[in-house]
């Protein structure tokens, strides 16, 4: 799965990747807080989508409330499981994800976090993973507007929600995401060219399947161990969450 991401940069950097980007919405976006974003926080996060050949930046909530979640209890029990969309399910005609396969967007990140289980260690060690040579990159995602869940009761405004696409892990990520019910998974890391192709509204199902099968080379990813990210405790060395932390006796990858 991919449940922890980071965007530790300015939003203006998105305009360099997408010329003439239209800003559909403006909300307070604190870079320091967004150095670690947890899926189950359901917070609004920047996404890029294409409409009528024009790139748009909006703010959607992470984790989708699907159409079949028609009671508060179902939402409470099932929404957290909709942080990710498995690439294998998107082309499966019996899957709910197949129904929204044309609702494609990109989620900008400076990196993601994933946790590694180590034999004999009580706690997993988080790693910060980013694409080599890229200041920011974009994770493919699917989005959905649930008309039964308005974000503003008075106006009836409906906020978009997104799920990040994941696939089977490559050899590097298998070593890191090596435990749990969803082990050996990773986000669908793409090249810059494929990222923009993901937003092509005329993408055929054949080409979509080809993009979904893309596997990034292990050497294209940089993975460094960091201090525990899902804690209110400050790092003992006072550094940022995404900076390397030297765990004593940590086995190498």
Q: What is the CATH number of the domain that holds 114?
A: 3.90.1680.10
172 found inside a domain: yes
The pLDDT assigned to 121 comes to 96
What integer pLDDT is reported at residue 84 of this predicted model? 98
Contact by Cβ (8 Å): 221, 129: yes
Does residue 206 form part of some domain?
yes
CA geometry: angle 41, 199, 17, nearest 5 deg: 80
**Domains of the chain: total:** 1
In a domain, 60, yes or no: yes
Residue range of the domain that includes 88: 4-225
The closest of 111, 103, 104, 109 to 11, measured between CA atoms, is 109
pLDDT recorded at residue 31 = 86
Is position 235 within any domain?
no
d(CA 38, CA 209): 28
Q: What are phi and psi of 167, to 5 degrees?
A: -145, 180
Give the pLDDT confidence score for residue 222 in this predicted structure.
Answer: 98
**Residue 170, helix vs strand vs coil:** coil
The per-residue pLDDT for 152 is 60
pLDDT tens, N- to C-terminus, the chain (253 residues): 799 999 999 999 999 999 899 998 888 888 889 999 999 999 999 999 999 889 999 999 999 999 999 898 999 999 999 999 999 999 999 999 999 999 999 999 999 999 999 999 999 999 999 999 999 999 999 999 998 876 665 555 778 999 999 999 999 999 999 999 899 999 999 999 999 999 999 999 999 999 999 999 999 999 999 999 999 888 999 999 999 999 999 999 9
Asked whether residue 244 is domain-assigned, the answer is no
**Shortest CA distance to 147 belongs to which of 43, 90, 66?**
66
DSSP 192-220: HHHHHHHT-TT--HHHHHHHHT----GGG
Is there a domain that residue 136 lies in? yes
Whole-number Å distance between alpha carbons of 40 and 7: 16
């Amino acid at each position: 799965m991919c449940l922890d991401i980071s965007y530790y940069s300015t939003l203006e950097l998105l305009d360099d990747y997408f010329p003439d980007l239209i800003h559909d919405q403006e909300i307070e976006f604190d870079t320091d807080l967004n150095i670690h974003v947890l899926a189950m926080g359901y917070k609004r996060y920047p996404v890029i989508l294409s409409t009528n050949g024009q790139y748009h930046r909006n703010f959607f909530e992470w984790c989708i409330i699907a159409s079949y979640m028609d009671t508060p209890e179902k939402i409470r029990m099932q929404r957290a499981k909709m942080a990710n969309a498995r690439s294998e399910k998107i082309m499966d005609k019996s899957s709910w994800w197949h129904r929204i396969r044309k609702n494609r967007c990109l989620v900008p990140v400076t990196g993601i976090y994933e946790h590694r289980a180590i034999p004999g260690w009580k706690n997993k060690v988080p790693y910060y993973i980013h694409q080599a040579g890229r200041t920011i990159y974009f994770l493919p995602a699917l989005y959905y507007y649930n008309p039964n869940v308005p974000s503003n009761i008075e106006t009836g405004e409906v906020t978009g929600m997104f799920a990040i696409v994941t696939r089977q892990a490559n050899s590097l990520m298998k070593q890191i995401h090596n435990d749990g019910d969803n082990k050996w998974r990773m986000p669908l890391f793409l090249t810059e060219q494929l990222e923009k192709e993901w937003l092509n509204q005329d993408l055929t199902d054949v080409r979509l399947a080809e993009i979904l099968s893309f596997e990034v080379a292990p050497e294209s990813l940089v993975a460094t161990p960091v201090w525990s990210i899902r804690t209110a405790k400050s790092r003992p060395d006072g550094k940022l969450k995404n900076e390397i932390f030297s765990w004593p006796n940590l086995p190498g990858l």
